[in-house]
Amino acid sequence: MRLILLGPPGSGKGTQAQRLVQRHGIVQLSTGEMLRAAVAAQTPIGIKAQDIMASGGLVPDEIVVGIISERLDQPDATKGFILDGFPRTVPQAVALDELLKKKHIRLDAVIELRVNESALLQRVENRVAEMRARGEDVRIDDTPEVLTRRLASYRSQTEPLIHYYSERRKLLTVDGMMTIEAVTREINRILAAIGAAEQTKAANKAATKASAKRSAKVPQKASAGRGAKATAEKAVKFAARGAATSRKTTKAPGKVGKTASRSNKKPARKTAAGSGARAVGKARKAAKKVTKRRAKR
């Protein structure tokens, strides 16, 4: 199973990704974690990313795609993966499509967790209020103000992906405002339907191939039979013409030479007729042999 999860901050992508990992035995690919892992491993792409990150710059898309490419080649990604946080823009989606095509990997689905932004802000405000009431520290990036900025960034950069994947018939939308359990059930239902559709498609493809093989064999036999039959008919006609010619040739002297006796004419006719019959018989036997040989082929 190869998936992309889309949704604004706070939509529950991380929670659902972890549940999918546990259920299907696939890996979650987070671009941030992959970048840090590549830097730690000092891979050629990781070294490039390290220099850019150290200078405070944004890592270019081609480097991020390169890191994803390296990660997909690892053994634990063969069963499938979930991309969380990537792609964020349409150009990144195009680059990812090209990468997957080169690796002969097919993306199964893009699942969008659709939520109400006003409800998300209310959730964050309630959570922050509860944490402060308990005397707990509130993370800087977990406030209504930060969430508002992140939502605006999502709308401008990432939301166009919904149209992009919808055009390619990859997008499936789930109501992210349901409970966590309900969202999980809906995602599992969608994935089960995709799996069943793929099995049906594979079965139909196999049946079509088998049917094509059977159809290819039948015309060959029929063609061989028709060819043999035609050859036999030609051989018989040829022999018949030869016999007829022989009879005419034998009769000619009888008409010209009036002194020839009847006793001399009759043996000639019989001999010519017998020769013609034997020739026809031989031709038919030969034709039958040809028919049998071609049918065996």
Q: One of 127, 229, 247, 265 is an active-site residue; which one?
A: 127
User: Known catalytic residue: 139?
Assistant: yes
Q: One of 2, 19, 150, 170 is an active-site residue; which one?
A: 150
User: Known catalytic residue: 150?
Assistant: yes
User: Known catalytic residue: 155?
Assistant: no
Q: One of 79, 101, 132, 139 is an active-site residue; which one?
A: 139
Q: One of 2, 19, 88, 170 is an active-site residue; which one?
A: 88
User: Known catalytic residue: 297?
Assistant: no
What is the 3-class SS of the chain, one letter each residue?
A: CEEEEECCCCCCHHHHHHHHHHHHCCEEEEHHHHHHHHHHHCCHHHHHHHHHHHCCCCCCHHHHHHHHHHHHCCHHHCCCEEEECCCCCHHHHHHHHHHHHHCCCCCCEEEEEECCHHHHHHHHHHHHHHHHHCCCCCCCCCCHHHHHHHHHHHHHHHCHHHHHHHHCCCEEEEECCCCHHHHHHHHHHHHHHHHHHHHHHHHHHHHHHHHHHHHHHHHHHHHHHHHHHHHHHHHHHHHHHHHHHHHHHHHHHHHHCCCCCHHHHHHHHHHHHHHHHHHHHHHHHHHHHHHHHHHHC
Positions marked active-site:
13, 88, 127, 139, 150
